[in-house]
Structure 1
C-alpha cells in the first residue's frame, strides 16, 4: 500500500556557519548549522505492494475538541467537522488514519476498535458520515486524547506517525501533572500540530503541547478558516518522508554543551531533550522531515588553549534513530555530518568578529523572548516593563527584517520609532490579536542575503 514508509529517504546535507577564532584563553564557541533535506519524494498515492499483515506503516490521527463550548457558537463544531473532512481528502491512499472526539474522555469516532483505517474512497466516505454525527458536550481532558492517539498510532509501525489536535478551551478536567505525564508518554512516539480555535483557550498550554511533540502551534480565531488550515497541515504531513531523525552532537574531552536550539523556522530549545548516545555524544530529537531546511544554533564551551592551537570543538551528525531505543531495530543510520572548529589567535579583529548568522539568530531568539516577556508584563499590569520589552521587540523585528512579527506587534503597540524601539501600549487590544502575537512569537525569518 502507498504510505510514508515507502517514500525515499531524503538526501541530507549540513553546513556550519561560525567564526572559529577565539582569543587566548577563550572557551565559548557559537555556530549555526543549516540542515537541508532534499529529494525525499513521495509515492503520491500510487499503489504499492502490501508490506505485510501488520497494518499500515504510517498513520495520522485527528483529535477534535467536542466539549460543550464547541457549540458556542455552533460554527466552531461545524467548522471542525468540515475541516476534518477536507483534511481526510488530503490523506494519501494507503495511509492509516483515525478520528478522535475529545471531551473529558477520548472516543474513537472512526474507525473504532483501537485501530487505524486505511485511507481510500470507501473509508473516507464512512469517516465523513461519522463526523456528521458528532455533537458537543462534556469537558476537556487533553492528556486522554493524546494517549488514545498514541495507542492508535502505535499500529503504524516505524513510519511517519502524526496527529492534529484542535481545542477551543482550557484543559480543565485533568491536572497539569496529568497532562505533563501524557506528553512525556507520547514524546518521541508521534508528532502533533495543535490549533486553538476562537479565543477561550490558553496559549501556553497549546504551544507547550506542540513543543513537547515537535509540532506546530497556531491560532484560528475564525472557525471559517479551519478548513484551509487543516488542509495545509495535512499536506505538510503528507510531504514528510522520514521520521525519528536525531541531531547527534559529539564534543571532545573537557568540552560541554551550553545549549542546542532550533532557530528556523521557529525557535525551539532542545537542550533539555538531550539523550546520551555514547562517550561524549548525545542525541537531540528533530522529528519528521520532508524536503525542507532548518537551522540550529549550538553553543559549546571548550577547554582553553594557547595561541595557534586548533581543535575540533564539536561534530554534528544527523542520524535516522531507532524508535524508543528498540534493540530489535537496526542501529541509528548516519545521514550527514558537519564539524565545528576552534582556533586560538592573537588577532583581535578575528577573535571578536561575530558570524552574521549567529548574530541574526541570536537576535531572533531575543525577539521571541522579548515578545513573550512583554505580553506577560502587560497582562500583569506592569506597563513600564511591557513598553520596554515590546519596544525592544519592535526594534529587533525591524533590524532583522521580520515583517510578520512587526505587523503583529503593531496591533498591540503604537510604534513611534522602530530604530530606537520607542512605542506606546495601545489602550485597547483585540484578544485575538494579542493571542496571535503570543502564539507566533517563536516564528523566525532567515537572514537575507
Structure 2
C-alpha cells in the first residue's frame, strides 16, 4: 500500500498504515461532537535513506540587528559551507525589507558546489543587518518574500530557515502575518531559530505551527542547528501527504489537528463539486508515526438510534479507515465505552498538558502569579500521569513541585525575561507517538459506485449500498 506525492523521482514510495480510535458514542442532539484519534505510520519500504539534494530549495533568512551580529558571524558561514552538493539555496539579509544577498546579480538561486559554498560563506561575512533608521517591515515581509522566491523553484521540498532576534517584529504584524500565513499554506515549510533575548514567542510559534516546522531558541551552536534542519529535510520520504475525510451529510463541521510529534493546526480544503469531502494537506513525512485528532460536529435529525453508522471515511492514498458510531438514547447509558475512548482522552489530555505549561509560563512572564501556579500545577499533574519528564523539568526551573500528582507547585523567584525559550519549547518541542499503531489494510471498493471503503465498513458512505 503505497502513495506517490512527489513525482517520478521518488521511487519506491513508503508504506502507510492507518488506525482510527473513536472517542465515544454520542448522544443525539443538534451539534453532537464526535472525536477520533488517527494514527498514521509511514515505513520506508525500500525508499532511499536521503532525499536527493537536488530536490530541495532552502532560503536562509537572517532577521537580526547589527547589535547581534556576533550571534551569526561564525554560524552562518559554517552552515553554508556544510550545504550538500546540488541543493538550491539563497541567503537573505536584513533591511527595511528583506535583501537578497546571495546569489548576486540576476540569478535568484544558487546550486551548491564547492565554489558556490565558498562564495556564499564569504558574502555572509558582510551580510547587511538591521541598523538604526526605518523600522523593519515585520515577519509578514519575510514569509511574503520567501513565498515569492520559492514560487519559481518547482522542487519536492521548499523550506525557509528564519533566524531572528525579534528586531523586525512590527506592531501591525499580527493581522498581516495571519494573511501571509494563509497565502503561504502548502507552498513551503519553515523552521525558526531565535537568537538574543528581545523576541516575542507567540509570532514565532505561529510561524512554526502554520508552516509545519519548529521554533526554537539557539543560544549556542546556530550553525549546527541550521545544518541539522537541512539534514532533517533530506530524510523526508513524502514531501506532501493529504489526509482526506469524506463525511455523511449530517456532519456539518470537520477539523483535523496534528498532536504528535509536533502540534500543528491543519487547514481543510473542500473539494470542488464534492461538498462532503475535505482534504487536509500535511508535509515533511519521515519514517515513523503521527497522531491526529479528528473532530466531527454532526446532527442527529433523521438518523436511527442505537444503530452503527459510518460518519466519515478517512483516506490516505489507497488506505482507508471508517469512523463509526451510534446515537444512544438520551436516557440510556452506553453498554460499554469504545475501545478507542482512552486513546482519544490521552490525545486531548496531552494537548491540555502542553497548553497548561505554555499558559503558566506566559502568566508568569506577565506577573500573574496565581494563574501561573494554577496552570503549572495542571501541567505537573498531567505530566505525572503520562510520565512526561521534560514537562516536569521545565516546571522545576520556575517552581518547587510540592505534590505533582495533586498539581501543587510553588513559584520560585525567576527572571521573567528568560522565559521566552521555555515558552517556545512548550509550544513546539517534538513529542513521541502516543500509542502503537495497528495496521489497516486497503479496504474494499463499493461494487455499486466504486468508492473506497474501510476494511471494517459494512455500507458505502457514497451511495449507501451494503458492501459485500
Could you tell me which of 249, 268, 276 is aligned with 2:270?
Answer: 276
Matches within 5 A, 1:109-258: 109-112=101-104, 113-138=106-131, 140-141=136-137, 142-172=139-169, 175-176=172-173, 177-220=175-218, 222=219, 224-257=220-253
Match in the other structure for 2:10 = 7
8 Å Cα contact 1:61/1:98 also seen in 2: yes
For residue 78 of structure 1, give the secondary structure of its aligned residue in structure 2: coil
For residue 94 of structure 1, give the secondary structure of its aligned residue in structure 2. coil
Are 1:412 and 2:403 an aligned pair? no
Q: In the TM superposition, what are the counterparts of 1:367-406 in structure 2 within 5 Å? A: 367-406=353-392
Normalised TM-score (structure 2): 0.80
Q: Distance in 2 between matches of 1:193 and 1:417?
A: 36
Rate the CA distance shift 1:58–1:231 in 2: closer, same or farther, 3 A: closer
Q: CA deviation at 1:348?
A: 3.2
Shift of 1:240: 1.7
Aligned length: 413
1:84 maps to 2:88 = no
Distance (whole Å) between structure 2 residues aligned to residue 287 and residue 263 of structure 1: 14
2:320 is the alignment partner of 1:337:
yes
SS at match of 1:214: coil
1:425 matched residue in structure 2: 411
- After TM superposition, give the deviation of residue 274 of structure 1 in Å: 2.2
**Matched ranges for 1:323-334 at <5 A:** 334=317
- Quick one: distance in 1 between partners of 2:340 and 2:44? 33
Shift of the alpha carbon at 1:130? 1.6
Give the C-alpha shift of residue 190 in structure 1: 0.6
SS in 2 for 1:144: helix
In structure 2, relative to structure 1, the CA distance for the partners of 1:114 and 1:42 (3 Å cut) is: farther
In structure 1, the residue matched to 2:308 is 310
Partner SS state of residue 189, structure 1:
coil
- Cα deviation, residue 411, structure 1: 0.7
Structure 2 distance, partners of 1:5, 1:115, is: 26
**Mapped partners of 2:129, 2:84: distance in 1:** 29
> C-alpha offsets along residues 113-147 of structure 1, whole Å, 9 cap, x if unaligned?
35211222222222212212325442543333322
**Counterpart Cα distance in 1 of 2:140 and 2:275:** 36
Q: Which residue in 2 is equivalent to 1:51? A: none
Cα distance in 2 between the residues matched to 1:264 and 1:392: 20
Does the 8 Å contact 1:115/1:152 carry over to 2?
yes
How far apart in 2 are the matches of 1:294 and 1:125?
39
Which residue in 2 is equivalent to 1:329?
A: none
The CA distance in 2 between the partners of 1:172 and 1:297, in whole Å, is: 32
Aligned-partner Cα distance in 2 for 1:403–1:446: 15
**CA–CA distance in structure 2, aligned partners of residues 311 and 295 of structure 1:** 24
Q: What are the Cα deviations for residues 203-262 of structure 1, in whole angstroms up to 9, with x where unaligned?
A: 001111122212111111x2x221222122111111123333222211101113353211
1:408–1:436: 8 Å Cα contact kept in structure 2? no
Please say if residues 256 and 300 of structure 1, whose CA atoms lie closer than 8 Å, have aligned partners that are also in contact.
yes
Compute the displacement of 1:316 (Å): 1.4
State the distance in 1 between where 2:275 and 2:289 align: 29
Against the structure 1 CA distance between its residues 182 and 68, is the aligned structure 2 distance closer, same or farther, given a 3 Å change threshold?
farther
1:67 and 1:137 in contact (8 A); partners too: yes
Deviations 1:161-204 (A, max 9, x none): 11111101243457313333333332221111111112211100
CA separation in 2, counterparts of 1:148 and 1:354?
Answer: 44
* Counterparts in 2 of 1:149 and 1:155: CA distance versus 1, 3 Å: same
Greater displacement, 94-103 / 416-425: 94-103
* Gap runs ≥5 in structure 1: 48-55, 319-333
Please report how far the alpha carbon of residue 302 of structure 1 lies from its aligned counterpart in structure 2 after TM superposition.
3.3
Structure 1 residues 79 and 34: CA distance shift in structure 2, 3 A: farther
Of Structure 1 and Structure 2, the greater helix share is in 1
Distance in 1, matches of 2:253 and 2:149, equals 37
Write the distance in 2 (CA, Å) between the matches of 1:352 and 1:59. 45
RMSD value, Cα = 2.8
- The answer on whether the counterparts of 2:94 and 2:130 sit within 8 Å (CA) in structure 1 is no
The equivalent of 2:449 in structure 1 is none
Measured in 2, the distance between the counterparts of 1:251 and 1:22 equals 16
Q: 1:80, 1:258 → 2: CA distance?
A: 44
Structure 2: runs of 5 or more not aligned: 1-5, 437-468
- Map of 1:326 onto structure 2: none
Structure 2 distance, partners of 1:231, 1:337, is: 37
Cα displacement (A) at 1:415: 0.5
Give yes or no for contact 1:409–1:437 (8 Å, CA) kept in 2.
Answer: no
The question of 1:98 aligning with 2:90 is answered yes
Q: Quick one: which of 33, 37, 41 aligns to 1:32?
A: 37
Range with bigger deviation, 225-234 or 392-401: 225-234
